[in-house]
Chain A
Amino acid sequence: MRHNKNIALSVKDLKTYFYTNNRCNKAVNGVSFDIEKGKTLCVVGESGCGKSVTASTIMQLLPTLSRIEEGEIIFHKDNEKINIEKLERNGKEMREIRGSDIAMIFQDPMTALNPVYTVGFQIAENLKYHTTLSKKEIREKTIRLLDDMGIPLPEQRVDEYPHSYSGGMRQRAMIAMAMACNPKILIADEPTTALDVTIQAQIFELMDNLKKNYNTAIMLITHDMGVVAELADNVAVMYMGNIVESGTADDVLRRPTHPYTKALLDSVPVLGRGRDQDIKPIKGSTPDPYDRPIGCQFAPRCNWRTESCDIMPEISNISETHEIRCHKYKEIFQY
Chain B
Amino acid sequence: MIFVISFLVYFGLDLTPGDAVSHMISPELAATITPEKLEAMREAYGLNATFLERYWIWLTSCLKGDFGYSMAGGVAIKDIMVKTIPATLELSIVALIISTILGCSLGILSALKKGSATDSGLTVAGMAGVSIPEFFFALVAILIFGMHFQWLPVGGRLLPHYETLLDRIPNIIMPSMVLALALTAGAMRYSRSSMLDVLSREFIKTARSKGLPEWRINILHGFRVALTPVVVLIGFRLPLLIGGSTIIEQVFQWPGIGNMFIRSVRASDYPLVMMISLMYVFVVLTASLLIDLLTALIDPRVRLGKE
Direct A/B contact, Cβ within 8 angstroms: yes
- Using a CB–CB cutoff of 8 Å, the interface residues on chain A facing chain B are 59, 61, 64, 90, 94-100, 103-104, 106-108, 111-117, 122, 125-126, 129-130, 161, 163-164, 174, 177-178
Among the stretches B48-56, B59-67, B205-213, the one at the interface with A is B205-213
Are B209 and A98 interface neighbours, CB within 8 A?
A: yes
Given A129-B212, A163-B304: A115 and B225 within 8 A (CB)? yes
Are B208 and A98 interface neighbours, CB within 8 A?
A: yes
Are B225 and A116 interface neighbours, CB within 8 A?
A: yes
Q: Other than the known A99-B210, A106-B205, what 9 A-B pairs have Cβ atoms closer than 8 Å? A: A97-B211, A99-B212, A111-B201, A112-B205, A113-B203, A116-B301, A126-B210, A163-B300, A163-B304
Given A95-B213, A115-B301, A161-B301: A61 and B208 within 8 A (CB)? yes
Are A99 and B214 interface neighbours, CB within 8 A?
A: no
Is B202 interfacial (CB-CB < 8 Å)?
yes
Are B210 and A161 interface neighbours, CB within 8 A?
A: no
Are A177 and B207 interface neighbours, CB within 8 A?
A: no
CB-contacts of B86-105 with A (<8 A)? none
Complex partner residue of A113 from B206, B212, B214, B216, CB under 8 angstroms: B206
In the complex, which residues of chain B have a beta carbon less than 8 angstroms from the beta carbon of A99? Answer: 209-212
In the complex, which residues of chain B have a beta carbon less than 8 angstroms from the beta carbon of A164? Answer: 304
B202-234 Cβ-contact flags toward A at 8 Å (1 or 0): 110111111111101000010011000000000
CA distance A115 to B202 in the complex (A): 11
Cβ-Cβ contact count across A and B, 8 Å cutoff: 84
In the complex, which residues of chain A have a beta carbon less than 8 angstroms from the beta carbon of B225? Answer: 114-116
Is B79 interfacial (CB-CB < 8 Å)?
no
In the complex, which residues of chain A have a beta carbon less than 8 angstroms from the beta carbon of B203? Answer: 111-115
Distance between B212 CB and nearest chain A CB, rounded to angstroms: 6
Is B167 interfacial (CB-CB < 8 Å)?
no
In the complex, which residues of chain B have a beta carbon less than 8 angstroms from the beta carbon of A122? Answer: 206
In the complex, which residues of chain B have a beta carbon less than 8 angstroms from the beta carbon of A178? Answer: 209
In the complex, which residues of chain B have a beta carbon less than 8 angstroms from the beta carbon of A125? Answer: 207, 210, 212, 216
Are A112 and B206 interface neighbours, CB within 8 A?
A: yes
Is B299 interfacial (CB-CB < 8 Å)?
yes
CA distance A274 to B298 in the complex (A): 55
Are B202 and A96 interface neighbours, CB within 8 A?
A: no
Distance between A133 CB and nearest chain B CB, rounded to angstroms: 15
In the complex, which residues of chain B have a beta carbon less than 8 angstroms from the beta carbon of A59? Answer: 208-209
6 residue pairs bridging A and B, Cβ less than 8 Å apart: A100-B211, A104-B206, A112-B206, A115-B225, A126-B210, A178-B209
B205: nearest residue on chain A (CB-CB)? A61
- Using a CB–CB cutoff of 8 Å, the interface residues on chain B facing chain A are 114-115, 201-203, 205-214, 216, 221, 224-225, 298-301, 304
In the complex, which residues of chain A have a beta carbon less than 8 angstroms from the beta carbon of B115? Answer: 64
Distance between A93 CB and nearest chain B CB, rounded to angstroms: 10
In the complex, which residues of chain A have a beta carbon less than 8 angstroms from the beta carbon of B201? Answer: 111
Are B211 and A96 interface neighbours, CB within 8 A?
A: yes
CA distance A117 to B300 in the complex (A): 8
Closest 8 pairs (CB-CB, A-B):
A98-B211, A99-B211, A99-B210, A111-B202, A95-B211, A104-B209, A114-B203, A126-B210
In the complex, which residues of chain A have a beta carbon less than 8 angstroms from the beta carbon of B224? Answer: 116-117
In the complex, which residues of chain B have a beta carbon less than 8 angstroms from the beta carbon of A94? Answer: 211
Distance between B116 CB and nearest chain A CB, rounded to angstroms: 11
CA distance A286 to B301 in the complex (A): 40
Complex partner residue of A61 from B209, B214, B221, CB under 8 angstroms: B209
In the complex, which residues of chain A have a beta carbon less than 8 angstroms from the beta carbon of B210? Answer: 98-99, 103, 125-126, 129, 177
In the complex, which residues of chain B have a beta carbon less than 8 angstroms from the beta carbon of A103? Answer: 209-210
Distance between A50 CB and nearest chain B CB, rounded to angstroms: 17
Complex partner residue of B300 from A111, A116, A129, A174, CB under 8 angstroms: A116
CA distance A117 to B301 in the complex (A): 10
CA distance A59 to B301 in the complex (A): 31
Are A90 and B202 interface neighbours, CB within 8 A?
A: no
Are A106 and B299 interface neighbours, CB within 8 A?
A: no
CA distance A115 to B114 in the complex (A): 24
CA distance A96 to B209 in the complex (A): 10
Are A161 and B209 interface neighbours, CB within 8 A?
A: no
Are B206 and A106 interface neighbours, CB within 8 A?
A: yes
Among B203, B225, B304, the most chain A Cβ lie within 10 Å of the Cβ of B203
Given A114-B221, A115-B300: A129 and B202 within 8 A (CB)? no
Given A98-B208, A98-B209, A177-B210: A108 and B202 within 8 A (CB)? yes
A104: nearest residue on chain B (CB-CB)? B209
In the complex, which residues of chain B have a beta carbon less than 8 angstroms from the beta carbon of A174? Answer: 206
In the complex, which residues of chain B have a beta carbon less than 8 angstroms from the beta carbon of A113? Answer: 203, 206
In the complex, which residues of chain A have a beta carbon less than 8 angstroms from the beta carbon of B202? Answer: 106-108, 111-112
B224: nearest residue on chain A (CB-CB)? A116
CA distance A163 to B299 in the complex (A): 12
Among B202, B209, B213, B298, the most chain A Cβ lie within 10 Å of the Cβ of B209
Complex partner residue of B206 from A96, A97, A114, CB under 8 angstroms: A114
Are A95 and B212 interface neighbours, CB within 8 A?
A: yes
In the complex, which residues of chain B have a beta carbon less than 8 angstroms from the beta carbon of A98? Answer: 208-211
Are A161 and B300 interface neighbours, CB within 8 A?
A: yes
In the complex, which residues of chain B have a beta carbon less than 8 angstroms from the beta carbon of A111? Answer: 201-203
CA distance A59 to B212 in the complex (A): 13
CA distance A131 to B213 in the complex (A): 15
B206: nearest residue on chain A (CB-CB)? A112
